[in-house]
Structure 1
Amino acid sequence: MFDKKAGAYVTDLLKEWKADHIYGMPGDSINEFMEELRKEDDIRFIQIRHEETGALAAAAHAKLTGKIGVCMSIAGPGAVHLQNGLYDAKKDKVPVLAIVGQVSSDLVGTDNFQELKLESMFEQVAVYNRRVQTAEQLPDMLNQAIRTAYAENGPAILIVSDDLFSTKIKYEKPMTSALYSQPNIRAAAEDLEKAADLINSAKKPVILAGKGAKGAVAELLMFAEEIKAPLIASFPSKGLIPDEHPNHMGHLGQLGTEPAKEVMKEADLLILAGTAYPYRDYLPNDAPAIQIDIDPAVIGKYYPATIGIASELEPVMAWFIDNIKPKSDDFLKKSQEKRDKWDEKLGQEMAKETEQLQPQHVMAEVQRILAPGAVVSLDVGSVTLWSARYLKLTDQKMIVSAWIATMGCGLPGAIAGKLAYPDKQVIALIGDGGFSMGMQDFVTAVKYDLPIIIVILNNQKIQLIETEQKEMGNKPTNIELANIDFAMIAEACGGIGYTAKNRHELKEALDMAKAGNKAAVIDAYVEDIDFETM
């Protein structure tokens, strides 16, 4: 290899890893690497206004595409700002690379301006966490970081003093390559046979499926149809498991439906397919369980599995389809009757005309304009509850901060969605609390000409926290939010802003936003309705 700057090798390797954009904010401990990026046409630098947005967007990119999301920050405050998004990536198990600047290598350890002990700070969040000591190490450590992020499904942190990026090196004998080999994990025959015996003897089997069904949805649905089993989807798998499938009972838990809750109570066999569902109170008391997961560490973690199958889901489903005996559909039919009544009730609630806009009206109108294959970026809060209950997804992709459940994830997710799929419709559903946490980065969508639609359910309060305070027997306190004119914020950023205070105004706003080609915010003032009373 010829002599060139270590930073140039980094850009070359990022391209080999198919990373085509990086989220970050320039600063004094990454400026040498910024110079290398300036010369590079095939890697797009997305300048965000807050590093948390960049890390959340990188995590969202990984959730949507399965490919590494990349973010960058300076030392000190920029690195601190990354933490929330990196924890989102860790807890939702997606690969992210964070390139984090550090003070000059000859000053490390001297308690210099903006120096923090970054290795210690990132220790808990990272699956790979190393500081590069010499410029010669940088290319190989970059490869190691990205490979580990893929292998362990989490954030890899590479801490680099900026002077190392500008140091010329000879990369003559690479130790590593820009390659990750995905293992094919298959079940043991004896585990499959034992599971088949349990399934064949069950009268009321119920399937609870999760994100691990990705790549195996067709087989999972065929299996559910073969054994005449009600199917429940974990909320993070919404959009992956079609809501309209006849066996689908909805979601479980606080975000769930009554039909899902009822069939789970009656189950005499629980089949956990690609999910480590953590809410024990919503699962059967003592039904036997078959858990199928690619990660052996989660089998039996939250529910006592009778049989654990460490495998990818698709071959297990295919084997079951070929080896399971036909079943009666009595339990499924009764479950479907309950589900149909539930859907009829929801339909009536969405069709009900009221003077003031209600949250379910917003979901119905979003459903009306939602395009096939669209990306739905969902924030955390009461908007999550309304979306879980009323929004039906078939082939759309939905992303949310599922495990750490961080408010403010909706806008970064929408930005990531439009960059990943520029030809697809991207809609974000966000509460006023969540949007105000990171609304400064709406200008990022405007700057990069990303025509996303942000729908804000504005009730001037943190409603989910109010509900929780009431459930604890406490008087709600400090949940009111000072109102912001979000439509005016959008206009001030150079986007389009709409205000909707009734259903007619919302319809018009959504139609105009869909037809437009600019980033848009719809500030939908919704009536304050207790979710539990619906």
Structure 2
Amino acid sequence: MPTVASLLVSALADHGVSTVWGVVGDALNPVTDSIRREDRIEWIGVRHEEAGAFAAGAQSQVTDRIGVCAGTVGPGSVHLLNGLYDAKKSHTPVLAICGQVPRAEIGSDYFQEVDNDRLFSDVAVFAQTVMTPEQLPSLLELAVNTAYARRGVAVLTIPGDVGGAEVPGDAADLRFVEQYPPGTPAPSLVQRAADALNGRKVTMLAGIGAREARDELLAAAEELAAPVVLSLKAKEGLERDNPYQVGQSGLIGNPAAQYALEHCDTLLMVGTDFPYPEWLPSGKTVIQIDADGAHIGRRTHVDLGLVGDAAATLAALQPLLAGPTDRAHLESSRERYTSWAGRQEALADPDHDRKATGRLRRLFDNPDHAIRPEQLADALDRHAADDAVFTTDTGMPTVWLSRFVTFRGTRRLLGSYNLGSMANALPQALGVSATDRTRQVVACAGDGGLTMLLGELITAVAHRLPVTVVVFDNSRLGMVKLEQEQGGLPEHGTELANPDLAAVARACGLHALRVEKPGDVDDAVVEALAHDGPSLLDVVVNADEISLPPRTSVSQAWGFAVAKMDETLTSRGGS
């Protein structure tokens, strides 16, 4: 007769789950022992449960199947929260298996007791405690099915005296749902959308929800002569071979994308829940296509909302599009994008600061001729595989990747782009690598993010996960520094006293390199990517690199100048 733990594990294995991430502990012992005896599932012991939740969420995002993590009683479950919030904000299904004190002690303020159902009530679409063995089949089905149906986190709590208990023999076999088929809006709504698009200057804003609608989106862009602004997460499916795309908007964006948004008549949003309304234009006719009706109109006023699958909706819309009589809006937006991209590319040249065009800027922001982060990101783009998976830490690594790494081939991109957590890049890379150890996985880490969960370097070695960790090491919390300076404040509290991170990585068992000169970057990137096993590349980059958003107010520019002057005076002993 199966136990609660063995039935749980075998049902997950039957569903195709291949890894469970967590830290072992007493209440979880029946579960981890069942995993030990189940050849189809690998237990990956992380050094912090938060990393396990990040890894499970990353696996879910690249496979579109449920990811699984675990935390034992009290603190072990609490530690899962940040990674689970990232899964929630990324709309990806994850199951968290949590331990609990024995049933008789629940409610007595027992050692390490935490009310998990209450603790996870905000992050989870489903959170229940298995109080009897008979409940396990139905509660597990509900947990997994709800996580799929609502694209979120399910939490199943198992008290210490329940996991090893036998499940009655008449318990029904477990069955998990498959994905729901996509829908299409009513034909009358599709016709209204076509009427609002035809004969107008149109800009499209495409998100991750349009990734599987690539052909349909490109066809619509051609018919409408519409520039396409991509959200960061949409780069992986919609950037390659796209003659309409003009890059990103928002803090990481560029002036061409902002021009395209501000100079259109009609904005067509497809599969995006773009979270920064201040970057969206006003006074436009707005049409939004999204599979989740709750996303319609929550970032900006929407004149017409179409609830449906992006590919099916665009396919229904295309025959009704008449197209504009001129392509000036598209051509002007693309010219601006090409010009901006060329100026950015010049910064990736290791000799940029020695050339006439770079000398003046070097005096202002790079007097020591340090490695510019643009050069490192460009080298990654040129040398990484066409099917590489990139993860990025929140902050400046995301900026440099968004501007310099192109998503040709079948490259994928993950990050904490909705939650905005630090320390996500390494554990997400581990999750992807465990899914397919033959695929190149590159974690673009900040020094602040990496050192927050530094122990997961040991996880990479212990479980033979061949990730390449590339550290943009500027001894700063770089994005916070930039925010302070744009507000007219000199940087404060952002400096990091880093060790030699390559030396730390070697002590953990990784192949590691440290680069401090621009001329050494390319060879080091090639070596790190080619290593058969986990590797780390610690690149000391310019701490004062300027990365202004596409739309900078006079007050922001003035504040930046004042802050830089104050920093310079302070560094020289001024007051």
TM-score range, shorter chain: over 0.9
The answer on whether the counterparts of 1:13 and 1:143 sit within 8 Å (CA) in structure 2 is no
Of the three residues 218, 221, 226, the one matched with 2:218 is 221
Q: How far did residue 489 of structure 1 move?
A: 1.4
Q: How far did residue 181 of structure 1 move?
A: 4.5
2:437 corresponding residue in structure 1: 422
Q: Does 1:326 align with 2:323?
A: yes
1:459 corresponding residue in structure 2: 474
Q: Number of residues paired by the alignment?
A: 531
- Of 235-244 and 402-411, the range deviating more from structure 2: 235-244
CA distance in 2, matches of 1:242, 1:331: 19
CA distance in 2, matches of 1:171, 1:531: 66
Q: How far did residue 473 of structure 1 move?
A: 2.9
CA distance in 2, matches of 1:77, 1:22: 18
CA distance in 2, matches of 1:32, 1:267: 60
CA distance in 1, matches of 2:67, 2:144: 10
1:39-78 equivalences under 5 Å are 39-78=37-76
CA distance in 2, matches of 1:252, 1:472: 20
Deviations 1:222-256 (A, max 9, x none): 21122111001111222121155211100011010
Unaligned runs of 5+ in 1: none
CA distance in 2, matches of 1:176, 1:37: 18
Q: How far did residue 215 of structure 1 move?
A: 1.6
CA distance in 2, matches of 1:249, 1:161: 53
Q: How far did residue 423 of structure 1 move?
A: 2.0
1:91 corresponding residue in structure 2: 89
CA distance in 2, matches of 1:109, 1:19: 33
CA distance in 2, matches of 1:531, 1:236: 23
- Of 108-117 and 92-101, the range deviating more from structure 2: 108-117
1:316-465 equivalences under 5 Å are 316-327=313-324, 328-353=326-351, 354=353, 355-394=369-408, 395-465=410-480
2:156 corresponding residue in structure 1: 158
CA distance in 2, matches of 1:154, 1:200: 37
1:182 corresponding residue in structure 2: 180
The answer on whether the counterparts of 1:13 and 1:139 sit within 8 Å (CA) in structure 2 is no
Q: How far did residue 259 of structure 1 move?
A: 0.5
Of the three residues 16, 22, 25, the one matched with 2:23 is 25
CA distance in 2, matches of 1:281, 1:268: 18
Q: Does 1:517 align with 2:532?
A: yes
2:124 aligned counterpart, secondary structure: coil
2:521 corresponding residue in structure 1: 506
RMSD: 1.5
Q: Does 1:259 align with 2:256?
A: yes
The code of the aligned residue for 1:79 comes to S
**Residues 421 and 429 of structure 1, relative CA distance in 2, 3 Å threshold:** same
Q: How far did residue 533 of structure 1 move?
A: 5.5
CA distance in 2, matches of 1:268, 1:371: 40
The answer on whether the counterparts of 2:93 and 2:147 sit within 8 Å (CA) in structure 1 is yes
2:273 corresponding residue in structure 1: 276
1:99 aligned counterpart, secondary structure: strand
Deviations 1:349-374 (A, max 9, x none): 21251442110010111111111111
The answer on whether the counterparts of 1:32 and 1:163 sit within 8 Å (CA) in structure 2 is no
Q: How far did residue 504 of structure 1 move?
A: 2.8
The answer on whether the counterparts of 2:350 and 2:519 sit within 8 Å (CA) in structure 1 is no
CA distance in 2, matches of 1:475, 1:4: 63
CA distance in 1, matches of 2:471, 2:321: 47
TM-score, length basis structure 1:
0.97
1:270 aligned counterpart, secondary structure: strand
1:248 aligned counterpart, secondary structure: coil
Unaligned runs of 5+ in 2: 354-368, 550-575
2:356 corresponding residue in structure 1: none
The code of the aligned residue for 1:369 comes to H
1:490 corresponding residue in structure 2: 505
Q: How far did residue 325 of structure 1 move?
A: 1.0
Deviations 1:433-482 (A, max 9, x none): 01001110111111111111100011111111111122223332111000
1:292 corresponding residue in structure 2: 289
The code of the aligned residue for 2:63 comes to T
2:484 corresponding residue in structure 1: 469
1:214 aligned counterpart, secondary structure: helix
The answer on whether the counterparts of 2:443 and 2:470 sit within 8 Å (CA) in structure 1 is yes
The answer on whether the counterparts of 2:183 and 2:312 sit within 8 Å (CA) in structure 1 is no
